[in-house]
Structure 1
Amino acid sequence: MRTVILSILLTILAAMPLRADENAARDVISGQISAFGTEEIGRAFGFASPFIQEKFQTPETFGRMVREGYPMVWRPSEVTFLEAREIGGKLWQEVFLRDAAGRGWIAEYELVEVDGELRINGVRIREAPEQSV
């Protein structure tokens, strides 16, 4: 009986950091999507990791890349957070997005910790299956 209780307790404790990180990830992703929606490109750029910031150099270049290459992220008509998981020490948060044309997409956000805060380090997009959400 003690072994079962200990196993349950350890499982709960192990999940706590991921849950806290998951909430932080949702805040970061929501903040960036909100910033895109109000065209606050500098604020949106601030949610990106140093790797992404270095790659695009300026908020304007970053904003243009998202607007032209990821319209489902730039102006989603629907945002639903799905599963979060840790892989190789990095947090991955899946998000269902619906674009202006009504098509569904799954965005896999890679988040990394920078100075104690989560930042977006990349996004992989794939078309969602018909009955995704």
Structure 2
Amino acid sequence: MTRFVSRVLFAGLFVAWLAGPVSAPAQESGEDVSAIQDVIAAQIAAFRAGDGSRAYSFASPGIQRIFPSPGVFMRMVEQGYEPVFRPRSFAFMDNQMVGPDDALQFVDVVGPDGAAWIAAYTLRRQPDGTWKITGCQLKPGVGA
């Protein structure tokens, strides 16, 4: 059920982004792109290190409400998102601001079994200016 809920949340944001008004995307600054990518890389590093508290700290308040502890969050990620939980490698791809405070970042991931994946991360700027991950959806990548 929790895996379903997290995918529904991501799908909702992604569909809202697709259905939004047709206009030029919000301007992204180099600082925003760097901060967004730093958050994703730090969460992946925390997953690799088995540091649930640190990995959980990069999740948005909404995700933390659904998964109310680092342990619950880590189990969900381990069971449903193995490619980003234990990637062999990852590289940042395209990103886009979806308004002034929402972003979409694509990541090329090679999972622990060598399979290729594309991880589509959504993030939201918090009131304190930091970025938090609001969702992640995995799709088979090239060669998968």
Q: TM-score range by the shorter chain?
A: 0.7 to 0.9
Q: Which runs of 4+ in 1 moved over 4 A?
A: none
Q: Which has the higher strand share?
A: 1
Q: Tell me if structure 1 keeps the 8 A contact 2:95–2:105.
A: yes
Deviates more, 1:15-24 or 1:76-85: 15-24
Q: Does 1:45 align with 2:56?
A: yes
Q: Identify which of 130, 133, 139 aligns with 1:117.
A: 130
| Structure 1 unaligned spans of 5+ | 1-13
Q: Does 1:94 align with 2:94?
A: no
State the TM-score, normalizing by the size of structure 1: 0.83
Counterpart-to-counterpart distance in 2, 1:18 and 1:93: 14
Identity of aligned residues (%): 36
Aligned ranges 1:1-133 → 2 under 5 Å: 17-89=28-100, 90-114=102-126, 115-130=128-143
State the TM-score, normalizing by the size of structure 2: 0.77
Aligned residues: CA RMSD: 1.8
| Structure 2 unaligned spans of 5+ | 1-24
Instruction: Count matched residues.
Output: 118
Higher relative contact order at CA 8 Å, sep ≥6: structure 1 or structure 2? 2
Counterpart-to-counterpart distance in 2, 1:81 and 1:127: 16
For residue 71 of structure 1, report the CA deviation from its aligned partner: 0.5
Counterpart-to-counterpart distance in 1, 2:45 and 2:80: 18
Counterpart-to-counterpart distance in 1, 2:93 and 2:111: 17
Q: Which structure has the larger Rg over C-alpha atoms?
A: 1
Counterpart-to-counterpart distance in 2, 1:15 and 1:53: 27
